[in-house]
Amino acid sequence: MNLGEQFGPYRIESVLGRGGMGTVYLATHARLQRRVALKVIAPALADDPDFRTRFLRESRLAASLDHPHVIPIYDADEVDGVLYLAMRYVDGPSLQALISEGALTPGDTLRVTEQIGGALDAAHAADLIHRDLKPANILVSEADGHAYLCDFGLAKRTSSRAMTQAGSFLGTVDYCSPEQIRGEPLDGRADIYSLGCVVFHCLSGRPPYALDSEIAVLQAHLNDPPPTLSPELDGVFGRAMAKDREDRYPTAAALASDLRQAIAEGAPATVRAQALPATREHSTQVAPRARRRWPWIVAAAVLVALAAGSAAIWATRDSGDDASLAPFVDRVENMLTQSAAGRREIAAALSDANKCKTSNAAAAERIDSVATNRQSILQQLGSMTAPTPATDRMLTLLQRGLQNSIEADRHYGAGLRSSASCPAPKNPNFTLAAASDRAATTAKELFVARFDPLATSLHRRAWSAGEF
């Protein structure tokens, strides 16, 4: 395909990368003028009727996932028999490119695990299995280290006996579960195994079974014990990469929770990554590129303090003035007020259910109603035009915080509906809610660190992350 060529509704601009699945292009939708990462599937795969059917079905299922760490899919179709997938273009490297430069720190690894783990749990709740989780399928925005999971369900099984008697995935075998290798039916725990392999690679700088041949790697996945790294972390790897899926973590959130505890108990540090330059994040790039590593928020309190000292100046640069900023601040504060009222109502519903003042079902209904209203606030944010690049960044952080918060609301409602007992027993939905709440708090803290100095400079009120 030539640069400048029209492919269906897309104009090809450049090649981002090539691999076994096909070629990824930077392209622009001609009518919408939206830049996308366009994955054009290799003809050898597209000619397989089973692959074609599953590609279209599962790409559309993945497109229905609404999660901040699942790469948004805009379109999945074919042009003259050629399959393609149009995704958000992310201006940043893949995780594979990052770890090729060396191991990550425990803090960086934990952040990736929590973000991608949340995406996996959301997919599993929708009965969708990734099946090819690996660092190359995790993209990281240079702007803020936001991780995205891409390529759901695109792995193809092959009957090549040179690989294994039961067949294997096309591509790397470094992260596939024993049941994948044996050709057994899969569930979400296959992805949990792969996530454990990815975590090990992030912390150690190498795949869990770095052997001379793919046959040897496959045999190790089937027969060798999980690899070891340090006494604090080995229990996490032992459970995540258990040969029997019944012995693995039930959710990625549970894996991330144990990893957080292991790191807190003194897991050894690894080589610190260099920071990436700040760029805009509205995007999806798939090909690994030689980039510097992103700036994780290792010391959030320090970052918030620094941001608070300079955010007012930062927010008004690029010709922003009181005439344009004041209406922006007023509109945002109106939305924050609405969201804060909803948050109080959800807290009251959870409290009433916990104290048996109302039934779990009634409390869940209250939460769902509020979550729907907060979703409308999110939609209003999406329609806003920011007066400066800096305020546009504020909107992005606020949207991310509210999206995660609404996701937590939905999980709380589902958790309450799962039992009529009072109080409702702990269940996976509450674990997912807590993880979403943590992600929401991180984004909200970054938002208020930028927004509050601007608001107070215009004699408006300041906010805390816990209010809205």
Instruction: Report pLDDT digits (tens) over 398-412.
Output: 988 888 888 889 889
Tell me whether residue 246 is exposed, middle or buried, using C-beta atoms within 10 angstroms of its C-beta: 0 to 12, 13 to 18, 19 or more: exposed
CATH of the domain at 124: 1.10.510.10
- Do 23 and 141 sit in the same domain of this protein? no
Select which of 121, 132, 174, 409 is catalytic. 132
Q: Is the pLDDT of residue 277 over 50?
A: no
Number of domains in the chain: 3
Q: d(Cα 156, Cα 137) in Å, to the nearest integer?
A: 15
The model carries a pTM of: 0.55
Which residue, of 32, 62, 88, is where some domain finishes?
88
Residue 468 lies in a domain: no
Q: Do the beta carbons of residue 468 and residue 339 sit within 8 Å? A: yes
Q: Do the beta carbons of residue 46 and residue 60 sit within 8 Å? A: no
- Do 253 and 108 sit in the same domain of this protein? yes
Model confidence at 308, pLDDT cuts 50, 70, 90, reads very low
- Relative to beta strand 157-158, strand 34-41 is unpaired
Residue 288 lies in a domain: no
- Do 215 and 157 sit in the same domain of this protein? yes
What contacts 462, CB < 8 A, 6 or more positions away? 448, 452, 455, 456
- Counting Cα atoms < 13 Å in the Cβ hemisphere of 329 gives 25
Domain limits at 43?
A: 6-88
Q: Is 224 a catalytic site residue? A: no
- Do 323 and 411 sit in the same domain of this protein? yes
Q: Across the chain, what does the average pLDDT equal?
A: 80
Q: For the chain, count helices (H), then strands (E).
A: 14, 10
Phi, psi of 104 (to 5 degrees): -90, 165
- Do 304 and 450 sit in the same domain of this protein? yes
- Do 57 and 99 sit in the same domain of this protein? no
Highest mean pLDDT of the ranges 119-128, 150-159, 233-242, 272-281? 233-242
- Do 257 and 390 sit in the same domain of this protein? no
- Do 121 and 167 sit in the same domain of this protein? yes
- Do 22 and 141 sit in the same domain of this protein? no
Residue 187 lies in a domain: yes
Among 131, 74, 115, CA closest to 294? 115
- Do 338 and 206 sit in the same domain of this protein? no
- Do 126 and 197 sit in the same domain of this protein? yes
- Do 187 and 137 sit in the same domain of this protein? yes
pLDDT for the residue 208? 95
Burial state string for 261-275 with b = 16 or more CB within 10 A and e = fewer than 16: ebbeeebeebeebee
Report CA-CA distances (Å) from 193 to 94, 251, 413, 447.
Answer: 20, 11, 29, 35
